[in-house]
């Protein structure tokens, strides 16, 4: 399994590093610069509001489906028609829920119109994720990897034309951005459906209420976990927009989005580990194979990378924000500097959260594969309670920065509890040597950053590049990225 994990991880990372950074930094960032912080903050709050209720689109079915098919491939043909029908019903329920809640919290006509399009996009995305869960459950990771970047590739093409060819010059709006997403998701959903049908054969929609109830009952623990985690990971910008008065809410949500954008990029890459690990862990647990080596391998790769990114962000946050975001028309120099300082402070905190989130994609995924969903739900609910409490406490006084503090506390609480539970349930011995290596690695990164900042006089981009190279070398020397072991596993022809 380590062999399959490394080979497919390399391919998945290659595709995503090729496409998604360009989407986030080249397209999504440029859209915010073009439409302005307040308009983008308006969209960002609506998007995250729609995400809060995405559980009604899935009910945990994607994770349940991936785990089930990994353990029994024959379930694809017997389940696909019924689950696809159920997804259509859930889409209708989701639409009704977001419109009712949106109306209750006071959304105006403009907000409700945008919510309709964003909600439809969420439905398409949830259906794509369900289709991909079938492919990953069959361990068809290469096909799944290609589909995982296809929507972004299409969006880059569509939005890029609108932004850079002059077609939308001076007229580009946040609505155009949303419509472009709709087109990209539609094409991706069709291609993903064809890929699944190649494996399942011809399948008809099946309206079987007994089957629906059975699937919902089986997936409900997954649904509850997904719901709680969605709430505490996406509620921040919604609370910022609602708790702060007037246009300040949208403006601060936009500032938060600036700091959040690179965290989102990092999460997208870290999530790839969970996509691969869930079916692999599920199959290994069913076959009673030892999961410890794969946990150590994935944790060493992902957490070393997350720490490298997080610590580099502490030294170069202001420079990165200034590079990414331009001054808006009519924005004074003082206002622009304030916006960059706020975004940089938020960014520093959020990138520490990235370390905890990365840990969750390994240890939380293992607990999910082991069906420890009840205790995972307790952990997630604890995180949600802390997150909401801290947001209500801190946002009125500290604005978007207070929300970043809430995110940091929440993610580290849940990550720590997940690690404890894995050690407990799988009776894993604490690897003190690995902990010592990580400690030495953190010290080396901090010292490197300090030396580069204090004693080298050169452009910050060169310093940042040197920091990343030095950090990568430290990870190799400390065998967190054990290249020799990676090569041995990847080319071990005996492993199936």
pLDDT digit string (tens) for the chain, length 496 residues: 556 666 667 777 777 777 777 777 778 778 878 878 778 877 888 888 888 787 777 777 776 777 777 777 766 766 777 777 888 888 898 999 999 988 888 888 888 888 899 999 999 998 898 888 878 777 777 788 888 888 888 988 888 888 877 675 567 788 888 999 999 999 999 998 888 888 776 666 667 777 777 777 777 777 777 777 767 667 787 788 888 887 788 888 888 888 887 888 788 778 778 877 887 888 888 888 888 888 888 889 899 999 999 999 999 999 999 988 888 777 788 988 998 999 999 999 999 999 999 999 999 989 988 888 889 889 988 998 999 999 999 999 999 999 999 999 999 999 999 999 999 999 888 888 999 999 999 999 999 999 998 888 888 999 999 999 999 999 999 989 876 766 665 555 444 4
Tell whether 296 is covered by a domain.
Answer: yes
Residue 62 domain boundaries: 2-428
Q: How far apart are CA 54 and CA 49, in angstroms?
A: 9
Distances in whole angstroms, Cα of residue 399 to Cα of each of 86, 238, 312, 353, 429:
41, 12, 25, 18, 43
**DSSP characters over 62-89:** HHHHHHHHHH-TTHHHHHHHHHHHHHHH
Tell whether 478 is covered by a domain.
Answer: no
Tell whether 475 is covered by a domain.
Answer: no
Backbone angles phi, psi at 487, to 5 degrees: -65, -40
Tracing tokens 């199959």 back to the chain, one arrives at 283
Q: pLDDT, tens digit, for every residue of 336-386?
A: 899 899 999 999 999 999 999 999 999 998 998 888 888 988 998 899 899
Tokens for 160, please give them.
Answer: 């890029």
Tokens for 450, please give them.
Answer: 């300090």
Tell whether 456 is covered by a domain.
Answer: no
Tell whether 470 is covered by a domain.
Answer: no
Tell whether 437 is covered by a domain.
Answer: no
Q: How far apart are CA 410 and CA 394, in angstroms?
A: 14
Number of domains in the chain: 1
Q: pLDDT, tens digit, for every residue of 466-484?
A: 999 999 999 999 989 876 7
Alpha-carbon dihedral 212, 218, 222, 223, rounded to 10 degrees: 30
Global confidence as pTM: 0.73
Tell whether 288 is covered by a domain.
Answer: yes
Tell whether 407 is covered by a domain.
Answer: yes
């Amino acid at each position: 399994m380590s062999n399959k994990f490394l080979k497919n991880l390399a391919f998945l990372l290659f595709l995503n590093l090729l496409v998604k950074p360009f989407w986030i930094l080249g397209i999504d960032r440029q859209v915010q610069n073009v439409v302005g912080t307040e308009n983008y903050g308006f969209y960002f709050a609506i998007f995250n509001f729609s995400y809060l209720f995405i559980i009604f689109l899935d009910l945990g079915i994607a994770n349940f489906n991936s785990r089930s098919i990994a353990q029994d491939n024959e379930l694809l043909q017997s389940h696909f028609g019924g689950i696809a029908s159920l997804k259509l019903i859930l889409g209708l329920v989701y639409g009704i829920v977001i419109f009712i809640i949106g109306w209750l919290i006071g959304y105006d006509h403009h907000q409700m119109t945008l919510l309709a399009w964003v909600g439809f996009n969420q439905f398409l995305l949830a259906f794509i994720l369900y289709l991909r869960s079938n492919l990953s459950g069959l361990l068809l990771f290469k096909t799944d990897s290609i589909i995982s970047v296809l929507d972004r590739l299409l969006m880059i093409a569509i939005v890029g034309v609108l932004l850079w060819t002059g077609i939308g010059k001076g007229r580009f709006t946040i609505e155009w951005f949303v419509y472009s997403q709709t087109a990209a998701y539609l094409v991706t959903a069709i291609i993903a459906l064809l890929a699944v049908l190649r494996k399942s054969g011809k399948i008809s929609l099946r309206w079987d209420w007994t089957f629906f109830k059975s699937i919902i009952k089986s997936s409900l623990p997954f649904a509850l976990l997904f719901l709680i985690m969605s709430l505490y990971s996406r509620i921040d910008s919604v609370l910022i927009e609602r708790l702060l008065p007037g246009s300040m809410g949208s403006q601060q949500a936009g500032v938060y989005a600036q700091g959040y954008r690179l965290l989102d990029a990092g999460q997208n890459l870290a999530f790839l580990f969970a996509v691969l690990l869930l079916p692999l862990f599920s199959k290994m647990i069913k076959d009673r194979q030892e999961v410890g080596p794969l946990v150590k391998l994935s944790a060493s790769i992902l957490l070393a990378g997350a720490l490298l990114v997080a610590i580099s962000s502490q030294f170069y946050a202001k420079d990165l924000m200034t590079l990414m975001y331009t001054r808006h028309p009519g924005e004074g120099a003082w206002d622009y500097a304030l916006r960059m300082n706020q975004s940089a402070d938020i960014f520093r905190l959020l990138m520490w959260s990235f370390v905890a989130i990365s840990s969750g994609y390994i240890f939380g995924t293992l607990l999910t594969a082991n069906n420890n969903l009840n205790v995972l739900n307790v952990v997630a609910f604890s995180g949600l309670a802390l997150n909401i409490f801290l947001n209500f406490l801190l946002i009125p006084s500290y604005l978007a920065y207070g929300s970043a503090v809430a995110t940091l506390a929440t993610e580290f609480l849940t990550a720590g509890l997940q690690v404890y539970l894995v050690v407990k349930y799988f009776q894993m011995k604490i690897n003190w040597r690995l902990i010592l290596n990580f400690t030495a690695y953190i010290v080396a990164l901090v010292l490197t950053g300090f030396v580069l900042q204090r004693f080298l006089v050169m452009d910050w981009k060169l310093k940042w590049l040197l920091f990343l190279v030095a950090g990568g070398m430290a990870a190799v020397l400390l065998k967190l990225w054990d290249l020799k072991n990676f090569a041995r596993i990847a080319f071990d022809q005996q492993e199936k």
